[in-house]
Structures are given as structure tokens and as C-alpha cells.
Structure 1
Amino acid sequence: MLFYEPLFITIFPAFYAVYLLTGGVSARKWLLLIASALFYFWGEPVFVLILFGSTAFDYALSFQLNEPTPPPTRRLALAAGVAGNLAMLVVYKYADFLADNLNAALSPFGAHRLPLLHLALPIGVSFVVFEKITYLVDTYRGTSKPAATFRDYCLFALFFPKLLAGPILKYHEMQDQIAKPRSVEWSDFGTGFLRFSRGIGRKLLIADPLGSFVNTVFAADPASLGASHAWLALGSFTLQIYFDFAGYSDMAIGLARMLGFGLRENFNAPYASRSITEFWRRWHMSLTTWIRDYLYKPLGGNRDGDVRTYRNLWICFLLSGLWHGASWNFVLWGAYNGLFLTLDRVFLRDVLERCGAVIATIVTLFIVMIGWAIFRSDSPAHLTTFLSALFGMTSANDALEVPAELPFALALGAIVSLLPATAFYPVLVRRYEASRSLRAITIAALVVVYVLAIARAVTAPFQPFIYFRF
């Protein structure tokens, strides 16, 4: 179920009214859990049962993860829990990818081909698995205690605002909020609704119009593209993926706030970055902090010298690329980012700092955009030809039709995403915060954005969130 489809827009107000009128912490938690389960059941009726079985497995193991359980038993329980969650991810997401590549490697030897499972990828499975691992690791480390009840743990795993595409939550960040949800205040509704409106506007008024053009261009033979259309498509995708994913995060954070929960931020003006290192501190922050806390630091982080640090960065970003999808282009994208993060540490970040803010921002954005070309291309052959088109190495003519709504969406997206990189942005923020009239205008504008976005959702072709594939 999507946050902007008519069914959700119709049901949520009724659910919200019942939630506000429900007295008692226990009753509100049961109501939230049932609603979350139904929300996921609507799109994944089979996998929701597997998910409940997996959460029961985690919950049972968690009581063997802390003191006074002997250390060998604790380590065994943690390994079993992490392996069980990763196995679920491997079966659904990577089984056919592994079988395909193994079949290709063994075909010269006449080996029998492994059958493909052709399992449908459950929506949000990668996000769910990562969050469930945080519960096990946090309990093992003593960062948090096992959930007070199985219901509380299920609510953490299934909490519907963040369920399908994050932000990725750490259990210790949510434990207290889950254990005792606070009462909802009027400010929660107002702030949450405006944040939701911003998100739905980002998705439907910017990302989707850009996405229609991007899909057309990337479905075409890249050899037929001229440089101008290739760059226009790449620029459109650069904005589309940001406003699509950040839009979902805004909607999730807004809905959670309306229910009295606070979720962590997921984006912080990433295209204003002046280095790749800074970009990854601003982009999909819940994933990068997860990688830092549950992968990079356990590997040794930057504690054992430069060579091991670079190795750890590459491992983390290769796995980050693979997390995004079972395809070699995602692995290549992870390696590409690992390379530039390493170059940042060696010399690139210092060079860009000496070049000044404007040059540093432009160079960083260029590196990011080439990375998005890797991300969006569906094969190495497509990527190679598309890069050739970008740099004018094809003889094609730009004959594709540009949709009428594309220039507006492109201009608006560029202004919104690049404004924080300008020198006068802090001045604008201070004036906004000091002016009640500007805040009132913003509120009115967001209400209009909400109405326009809903109108477009009803009339325009459906486009799923990009990160639903992950």
C-alpha cells in the first residue's frame, strides 16, 4: 500500500481518529501493530507470515544474547540470528543472481545448470533485515535489553511508516518509544502533516515527472542518444532518485510524528556536498550510519592504519552496492564509491577544499552523477554505451521528445537541491526562522502542495518508489 494512493488516504484518517481516541499504552500498541501488519499484508500476504516467524526466532534468541549467558552461547546465538536473517535476504534477493553467475562460470565445463527460483522480491526486505540485525547486535553488545514483549519487538520490525523503505532504524533508538508511546499532541499532528505534505510533493510533483522521461531514455538504445539527451536524462535521474527517496523518508517521518514517534533523519541536502565523503554523510544517512556501526567498526574501522582503513571502506561499499540490488552494476557502483572515498582520504578532499566551495561542489556533483549512471544502467554494455553518449562519442541525433512538465520539475528540483550550497542560504534560513509571516506562507504552500500532489496521484500514471526494489 502506498502513502498517496486513494485507499491509504481514505483509511488513514479513520485509523488516526481511532488511534487518538484509544486510551492506554497497551491498547494503542496493539492497534498500531494490527494496522502495521495489515498495511504490509496488503502488498505481501505470504511474506508477512515469514516475517512474523523470523521475528519470533529473533525474540527467542535475544534472551541468550546478554548476561549471564556464557560468552560461547551468546556468540553462537548471535551468529544464528544474523545468519538466519541474512539467509532470508539471500534466498529472496540473491539466489537467482548467484545461480545465474554460477551457471555462466560452469557452462564451459558442461555442468548441469542450477534451476532459478524466480521468487518475487518482498517489498522492503533489505530494510527489514537490517533493522532486525540491529536488535540482535544491540542486545549482544548490551546497548539495549531484549524487548519487554514479543508484541513490542514485532511493532519495531513492522512499524508501518518506515516499513517499506526506511529510514533504517536501530533498535536502541526506538526501544523507549516502542515500550511506552507518548501521547499525541496537536503540534505532532501539525508538524507531521506538513512534513508528509513536503514528502508527497517531492515524490509526485518532482520525482515522478522526471522519472517518466528517465524511463523512456534508459529504455532506449543508448547508441541512439546524443550528448544533450544523455545529460538531460542523467540530470533528471540525479534529481529523481533524490526526491523520490527523500520524499518517502519525509512521508515516513511525518506519519510517525503524527503518531507520536520520532524517526531519524535520512537526508541532509546531499547535492550541496563538497566531497564524496561529505556526500555519504548527507545521503541515506540511516544506511551509512548502519554500515559504520555494524560493519565498518567491527572490521576495524580506521584503527589499524591506512591500508586496512581503505580495505574496510571498499568492503563496506562493495556490500552497500550489493545491498541495493542483485546485479553487477550495483557492485560496480559500490566499488566506484569506495574508490572515491579512498581518494578523498589520500588527496582529493584536500585538493577540493583548496579549490573553493563552488569548484568543490561542481566536481563532487559530477562524480556523483557518473555514479548514478552506473546505478541506473542495467548492464555493463548499456553503461559503456551510455557513457559514450554522455561524452559525445556517438553519432546519434537527439530525436526524443521532451515532456512539457519536465523543464518545470527539473528547474524546481535543481533549485531546491542546490540552494543549500549557496552562500546566502544560511541568511535565508535565519530570516525564515525569525519571520512568522514567512512560516505562515510556508504552511499554506505545503497545504497547496498536498492538494496538487493528491490530484496528480489520482490522474497520473502510477510510479512506484525506486527504493521499493531494495
Structure 2
Amino acid sequence: MLILHNLPLPWKVKKINLLLASYIFYAAWNPPFILLLWLSTVVDFFVGKALYVQPNKHKRWVLLVISLIGNLGMLCFFKYGTFLLENFVIICNALGIDYHPAKPSIILPAGISFYTFTTLCYTIDMYKRKSEPVKSLLDFSLFVTFFPHLVAGPIVRPPQLVPQFESPRKASKQQLADGLLLLTLGLFMKVVLADTLLSATADAVFGYTGKLSTLDAWAGVLAFSGQIFFDFAGYSTAAIGVALCLGFVLPQNFLYPYAAIGFSDFWRRWHITLSSWLRDYLYIPLGGNRQGSFKTYINIMITMLIGGLWHGANWTFVAWGGLHGLYLCAEKAMDYKRPKASPLIDITPEPVISTASIIPPLVNKKLNSNILKALLTFFLICITWVFFRSATFAGAWQLLGSMFTRQGDTLPLLTTIAIIKVGVVVSFMLVFHWIMRDTTVLKVVKKTPVWSLGIVWSLMLILIILSQESSKSFIYFQF
């Protein structure tokens, strides 16, 4: 694709090539589901245009509802159809109604949650007239199906990508080098760190049905906390790198989230495009924090519960989102109760005390405090991952009990070497996140000597090649 994109062809031909490549990429998984992708694209393109020019408020509302029904209807059927039916049967049986329908066989289309949110934000923006409609069906189709972000994000909004399709683009030498480096880094995170070093321990612990020793339980939870980051951030990094190799810029999706100081900071760093989508299209329309503290807490909980459900058709995902909602509400309550500093403190001079003697201790104290807050945040996030990874509540409670009690079985698969391996990788991850929390990889690369960059890059490639046999599909492909 890279060679074809750099041939001396008309720009429209290159865009058609990219669109066809995107459809082939999606068809490699299950060809019939291209029809769903195509239907969502065409409906939202024409509905979006009509929404923008339609002066009648009632007709505009009807058009928006058509788009919402089309997109959310497909999402609900394919992703939540079985889940809704199972819960409906439970309710019927609880009411004394003997209802036992045949279990449906519904295949979940890859990436449906991602491209549904991508097209939804377009029609909602057209309804609010936040931006002008996309003029070309080709550009809109390419925006929705652009293969780097199609199946697992980042969730891209029209103003972030569509303008890049309007004029010819080809990667510069620097963009190509940066893109290849990010692609290598993303594959290294996925293949080496997530799959080779962490997944076996996480699978063994979360797949065990009995009570575990505290050490084994924590080894599995920490392994999954690292696995899901390296897996998902690895895909996002690789996707951004592939797009950059073609001359396109995708939005950042991760910013060292395990260095977050608090949970609002975490969601500004983890799956950034989803959290900003939920903020702009759900939390703010619900009222945000504009209607008092109680309504703010309600809006936060609704947003995080829906965010949890977005990840999967299981109540454990809802519990995961609910826990994050509780964390955010508690953090917000602490902010409300925290006394505001008087402006006089900032402007009153203190000539008697030397600033040189007082600033370093204050800085060190604040740094140590922030590190402790970051570790506490990570600890509480690890607890939420138990619900995210567990298939049932029984399994989640069993594992949580093992994490905080001393008695339990020792898994034969979890050797001392395996536990040490998890500890080293997770510790490295936390230290690296803290060091990098206020910068980016590409900024650091620009300051790194070429010879040392070459050594690190070569080592990543060698380790990827040696680890390829153990690679698995990306976790977020199921969402």
C-alpha cells in the first residue's frame, strides 16, 4: 500500500486505492459485514447533508432519529442482542413466566463500536451545525473506513481527518521515519510485552476457578494491567504510525495513563478519543457540571456506566464503568470540599524568607506526594481491571478475595520466574510512564543520538521476530 500510495497517480485514484485497501482489510475478517459498514457510511453521509441544510426543526429531529436508530440499532442487535435477550428471560422467569427461547447465534462484527461512534459524531455535529458537511462521498467513506483506525481506533472525528483527504498528501522523510518507528514500537508493545511476557500469567490467574494465594492473584492482576495497556496502546501506536507513513495524522489515544494523578487525569490519558467522545456527546449534553454537585455526580455515573457497557455486553463491564464513576465522583467531592486558596497568598511578598532555601524542599515534597497519589491511583485501577477481565461476578469476587487474604492455592504455572517477570515488566512500565508523563516518544527521539536510537530500534525488531509465534489478536478487536 505504501508503494502504491507513492506512485505518480492522481489524488482521487490514490484515495480510491486507500478505500479499496480499507475494505479488503476489513473483508479479511468476514466479507459480508462490509455491507453493514457501507450502509452506515451511506446513510450517515446523506442524512448529515440533509441535517445541515434542513431549516425545519421537526424534520431535522426526524433525520437525527433516523441516523441514531440506524447506527445504534445495528450496534444493539449485533453487540447486545444476546445480552438483552438473556436478561429479558431472567426477568420473565423471576416474574413466574416460563419463557425459554432458542439461543440466538449472532456474530459480532469487528470494530462495530468504533465505526459506529465515528459516524454518530458526524451526524450529531451536523445536527448542531458545528462544522460543514463533507462534500464528497469518497472522502466520507474513506474517513469512516480508513484502515489504520477502522477496527480498534483511535475514534476519529471528521475535522481531524477529512480535511487531510482534500488535497494530495505524501509522507515526508521525517514522517516516514517517525511512522516506521511508531509501528515498530506498537508491535513491540503488543507482541513482546503484552503477549510474550504478560498474557500467560494473566490468562492462568483469570482462568482459575478456585481460590489463589495472594501473590499469585496479584501477579495475574498486575499482568493484565500491563497486558491491556501494551495491547491497546500498542495497536493505537501502530495505527498512528501506519497513517503517518502515508502522510496522515491521527489523534493521540494514550498519554502514559499509569502516571495519572487521580482518575480525571487517568481518563485524560487512557483511551483519550473515547473519553473525549463520551464527554462531548454524552456528559456535557446531560448537563455536565453546570447544574449543581448532585446532578454532576449523576451525569458522571451515567457516562461511566454507558462507557463500561460500550466495552462489552456483560454486567461485569458495567461494574467496571461504575467503579470508575464512583472514583470520579469521590474525586469531584474532594475538589468541592477543598478550600480555595486566597489570592492574597499569591501576591503578598515575603522578603524575609529566602526563596532559594524554601522552594527545593517544597518541590521535593510535592513530587513525593504526586508519586504516592499516582501509585494509589494505579492500585485502585488494578481493582477495576478484575471486573473488566473476569467473565462473571463470582470469578471477580473470588479473585478479589484472593488478593486481600493469605490463604489459597499456588498455581503450578506461576513459577517464581514468571512472577518475577511480571514484577519487572510492570515496574518498568510504571517508571517509564512517570518519566514520560509530560512528553511524547517522538519528542524524546528528536533529542536522542542516532546511534543509540538505532540500537534500541534494532533490539525491538529482533525481539518482535523472535516472539512472533506467541502473538494473539488484539484485545480491543472484540469491542
TM-score, with structure 1 as normaliser: 0.90
Mapping 1:225-236, distance limit 5 Å: 225-236=212-223
Aligned identity (percent) is 32
Q: Which residue of 2 aligns with 1:334?
A: 321
1:360-393 CA distances to partner (integer Å, 9 max, x unpaired)? Answer: 1121111100011111111111111111100115
Matched, 1:377 2:386: no
Deviates more, 1:447-456 or 1:305-314: 447-456
Aligned mates of 1:290, 1:218 — CA distance in 2: 31
Matched, 1:446 2:457: yes
- Within the candidate set 167, 177, 202, 1:180 is matched to 167
Q: Which residue of 2 aligns with 1:9?
A: none
Alpha-carbon contact 1:205-1:409 (below 8 Å) kept: no
Q: Which residue of 1 aligns with 2:25?
A: 39
Aligned mates of 2:384, 2:464 — CA distance in 1: 30
Structure 1 unaligned regions, length at least 5: 1-14
Q: Which residue of 2 aligns with 1:244?
A: 231
What one-letter code is carried by the residue in structure 2 that aligns with 1:212? A
Sort the Cα spacing of 1:306 and 1:433 in 2 relative to 1 into closer, same or farther, 3 A: same
Alpha-carbon contact 2:18-2:146 (below 8 Å) kept: yes
Aligned mates of 1:407, 1:203 — CA distance in 2: 20
Deviation of the 1:357 alpha carbon? 1.3
Aligned mates of 1:21, 1:327 — CA distance in 2: 47
Sort the Cα spacing of 1:426 and 1:173 in 2 relative to 1 into closer, same or farther, 3 A: closer
Q: Which residue of 1 aligns with 2:476?
A: 467
| Bigger-Rg structure (1/2) | 2
Matched, 1:315 2:302: yes
Corresponding pairs, count: 451
- Within the candidate set 416, 423, 428, 1:415 is matched to 428
Structure 1 SS opposite 2:6: helix
Aligned mates of 1:440, 1:190 — CA distance in 2: 15
Sort the Cα spacing of 1:434 and 1:112 in 2 relative to 1 into closer, same or farther, 3 A: closer
Matched, 1:28 2:41: no
Alpha-carbon contact 2:204-2:220 (below 8 Å) kept: no
Q: Which residue of 1 aligns with 2:77?
A: 91
Structure 2 SS opposite 1:282: coil
Structure 2 unaligned regions, length at least 5: 339-364
Deviation of the 1:353 alpha carbon? 8.1
Matched, 1:106 2:92: yes
Q: Which residue of 2 aligns with 1:7?
A: none
Deviation of the 1:349 alpha carbon? 9.7
What one-letter code is carried by the residue in structure 2 that aligns with 1:339? L
What one-letter code is carried by the residue in structure 1 that aligns with 2:202? V
- Within the candidate set 380, 389, 393, 1:367 is matched to 380
What one-letter code is carried by the residue in structure 2 that aligns with 1:327? N
Structure 2 SS opposite 1:302: coil
Alpha-carbon contact 1:58-1:81 (below 8 Å) kept: yes
Aligned mates of 1:187, 1:220 — CA distance in 2: 48
Deviation of the 1:395 alpha carbon? 3.6
1:169-208 CA distances to partner (integer Å, 9 max, x unpaired)? Answer: 1112112012334232222211100000110000011000
Aligned mates of 1:335, 1:148 — CA distance in 2: 40
RMSD, aligned CA: 2.6
Alpha-carbon contact 1:213-1:403 (below 8 Å) kept: no
- Within the candidate set 112, 116, 126, 1:129 is matched to 116
TM-score, with structure 2 as normaliser: 0.88
Alpha-carbon contact 1:211-1:237 (below 8 Å) kept: yes
